[in-house]
């Protein structure tokens, strides 16, 4: 077979077998070229919410293609974008009034960073520092790599990255250290924004912290005039049990970033929501105060139509009930691992469940990760451990038997990797 010309993401091609081709998707499954059905237990990198090819979203896409392709968004608007913006403002935390479109989670955070710095620049306030949390991940563009954890992911690009101030992760019993350090950063008067993944740090290892910490961080930011940016790219659209994770801390961020589940996972689209204060700081007869950001495919109407259909699904179908059922199934299945000496840090929030396999060498490059991934695929499962961290984040249509199969496989694969039969 001829080697593909494709360079795949997060893939070391010298170590990987040729990629299987997926020929179709169905609900919670991917179907490969050999006809095998693979349970998508991680929602294809956390984007698929209701399930693959939800009929209402597919129909909305088909209908939109009869009227639209791409339209320059600096010169015109269109109905799908307008309806989506109205819907997003309606469901977002109160106070977020404006919507700026882009095309990925990374770009939505880049937009947020530029909004924050532009806000203070246009007001004539010398604030230029950004505060982040250790182990965070916000994307793979230059700005988002700068705000994410430094390490093997971005070591080669270090000369391009700007400096940020980092907070320690607020582990149980150590929350006050995080809050005190943020307070000390803010006292400098130079902090423009805090950028944070609310409740769960995703790619950093599915690290979960208390909603009370989020509320305190927002209070400190507000007291010091620092903008609070919530990166809800992964945590939004029900993943933590509520539409947005910020709701659980009763927090309205100054800027909220969303993508992934925005279209139900069907098409790439992102949005950065902000308060009127931030919009108004860029509103001027002086053209130098314009918000200078765009991408060629800003507010693609077909993607916007898919997102509008997604909003309708949230209004017309029992999505929160499905999420609640999935939460219960996770909780019941995780019980078998309580006290299991093979695992540590068994945790769950909403539809996200994770546990750490105890191996001599952990971290993202732990050899256990690729081995487990291969063994899961042999069992008809798409599960991509983050090194020794095994997590499940399935679409909301998954049923009890399917999820039980995933947990059975975790049990079995752990014993194989650790070399001990149970």
Residues 211-224 have pLDDT tens digits of 999 999 999 999 99
User: Do residue 386 and residue 244 come from a single domain?
Assistant: no
CA distances from residue 37 to 42, 68, 73, 167, 374 in whole angstroms, order as listed: 15, 34, 40, 43, 15
Beta bridge partners of 200: 208
Residue 196's contacts (CB-CB under 8 Å, 6 or more residues apart) are 132, 133, 136, 214, 217, 228, 229, 230, 231
Q: Are residues 167 and 312 in the same domain?
A: yes
In-domain check, residue 11:
no
pLDDT band for position 363 (50/70/90)?
confident
Residue 159 above 70 pLDDT? yes
Least confident of 189-193, 281-285, 315-319, 366-370: 366-370
25, part of any domain: no
Q: Is 344 exposed, middle or buried (0-12, 13-18, 19+ CB in 10 A)?
A: middle
Q: What is the mean pLDDT of residues 21-37?
A: 98
Q: Are residues 360 and 225 in the same domain?
A: no
* CB neighbour burial string for 55-93, b if at least 16 within 10 angstroms, e if fewer: ebbeebbeebeeebeebebeeeebebbeebbebbeeebb
CA distances from 158 to 83, 152, 271, 347 (A): 41, 10, 28, 33
The confidence score (pLDDT) of residue 57 equals: 98
422 has pLDDT over 80? no
What average pLDDT does range 112-138 have in this prediction?
Answer: 97
Of 316, 349, 365, the last residue of a domain is 316
Question: How far apart (Å, rounded) are the C-alpha atoms in residues 164 and 32?
Answer: 43
Residue 404 has pLDDT above 50, yes or no: yes
Q: Does residue 267 lie in a domain region?
A: yes
299 shares its domain with 332 = no
| Domain co-membership, 103 together with 221 | yes
Residue 1: predicted pLDDT: 54
Q: Which of 255, 282, 316 delimits the end of a domain?
A: 316
30 domain-assigned = no
In this structure, are 133 and 253 located in the same domain? yes
Looking only at the bridges linking them, the beta strands covering 191-196 and 227-231 are parallel
Q: Looking at the structure, do residues 148 and 285 belong to the same domain, yes or no?
A: yes
- The average pLDDT across 68-82 equals 97
User: Contacts for 279-288 with beta carbons within 8 Å, 24 or more apart?
Assistant: 279/97, 279/98, 281/118, 281/119, 281/122, 281/123, 282/115, 282/118, 282/119, 282/122, 284/122
Distances (CA, A) of 9 to 6, 25, 55, 386: 10, 20, 29, 15
pLDDT at 421: 41
Domains of the chain: total: 2
Three-state DSSP class for 361?
Answer: coil
Query: Please, which pLDDT band fits residue 259 given cuts at 50, 70 and 90?
Result: very high
pTM, entire model: 0.97
What's the CATH number where 370 sits?
3.90.1150.10
Q: Are residues 280 and 331 in the same domain?
A: no
Tens digits of residue pLDDT in 260-312: 999 999 999 999 999 999 999 999 999 999 999 999 999 999 999 999 999 99
In a domain, 1, yes or no: no
Domain containing 383: what range?
A: 318-418
| Same domain for 102 and 249 | yes
Residue 149 and residue 91: Cα distance in Å, rounded? 30
For residues 262 and 358, membership in a common domain is answered with no
Q: Which of 287, 316, 345 is the last residue of a domain?
A: 316
Does residue 262 sit in the same domain as residue 366?
Answer: no
Cα gap 353→329, rounded to integer Å? 10
**Pairing of the two strands 270-274 and 98-102:** antiparallel
User: Diameter of the chain by CA atoms?
Assistant: 72
CATH at residue 217? 3.40.640.10
Where do we find the tokens 């008809």?
Answer: 380
Which of the four pLDDT bands, split at 50, 70 and 90, describes residue 420?
low
Please tell me whether residues 372 and 238 are part of one structural domain: no
CA distance 188 to 191: 7
**What tokens appear for 141 in the block?**
């563009």
């Amino acid at each position: 077979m001829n080697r593909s010309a494709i360079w795949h993401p997060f893939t070391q091609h010298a170590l990987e077998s040729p990629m299987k081709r997926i020929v179709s998707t169905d609900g919670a499954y991917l179907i490969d070229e050999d006809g095998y059905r693979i349970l998508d237990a991680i929602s294809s990198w956390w984007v698929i919410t209701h399930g693959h090819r939800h009929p209402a979203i597919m129909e909305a896409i088909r209908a939109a293609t009869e009227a639209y392709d791409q339209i320059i968004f600096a010169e015109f608007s269109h109905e799908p974008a307008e309806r989506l913006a109205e819907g997003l403002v309606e469901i977002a935390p109160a106070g977020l009034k404006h919507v700026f479109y882009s095309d990925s989670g990374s770009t939505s955070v880049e937009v947020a960073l530029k909004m924050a710095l532009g806000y203070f620049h246009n007001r004539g306030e010398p604030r230029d520092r950004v505060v982040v949390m250790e182990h965070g991940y916000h994307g793979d563009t230059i700005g988002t790599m700068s705000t994410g954890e430094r390490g093997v992911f971005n070591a080669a690009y270090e000369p391009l990255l700007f400096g940020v101030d980092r907070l320690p992760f607020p582990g149980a019993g150590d929350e006050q250290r995080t809050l005190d350090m943020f307070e000390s950063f803010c006292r400098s008067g130079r902090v423009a924004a805090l950028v944070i993944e609310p409740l769960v740090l995703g790619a950093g290892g599915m690290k979960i912290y208390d909603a009370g910490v989020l509320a305190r961080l927002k209070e400190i930011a507000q007291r010091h005039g620092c903008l609070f940016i919530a990166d809800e790219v992964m945590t939004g659209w029900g993943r933590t049990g509520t539409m947005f994770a910020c709701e659980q801390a009763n927090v309205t961020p100054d800027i909220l970033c969303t993508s992934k589940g925005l279209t139900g996972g069907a098409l790439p689209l992102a949005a950065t929501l902000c308060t009127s204060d931030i919009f108004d700081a860029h509103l001027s007869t002086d053209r130098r105060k314009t918000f200078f950001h765009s991408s060629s495919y800003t507010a693609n109407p077909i993607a916007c139509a898919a997102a509008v259909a997604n909003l309708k699904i949230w209004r017309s179908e029992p999505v929160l009930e499905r999420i609640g059922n999935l939460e219960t199934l996770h909780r019941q299945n995780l019980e078998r691992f309580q006290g299991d000496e093979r695992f540590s840090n068994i945790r769950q929030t909403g539809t996200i469940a994770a546990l750490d396999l105890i191996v001599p060498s952990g971290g993202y490059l732990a050899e256990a990760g690729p081995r487990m991934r291969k063994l899961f695929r042999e069992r008809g499962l798409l599960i991509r451990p983050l090194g020794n961290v095994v997590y499940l984040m399935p679409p909301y249509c998954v049923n009890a038997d399917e999820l039980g199969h995933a947990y059975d496989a975790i049990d079995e694969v752990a014993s194989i990797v650790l070399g001990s039969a149970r």
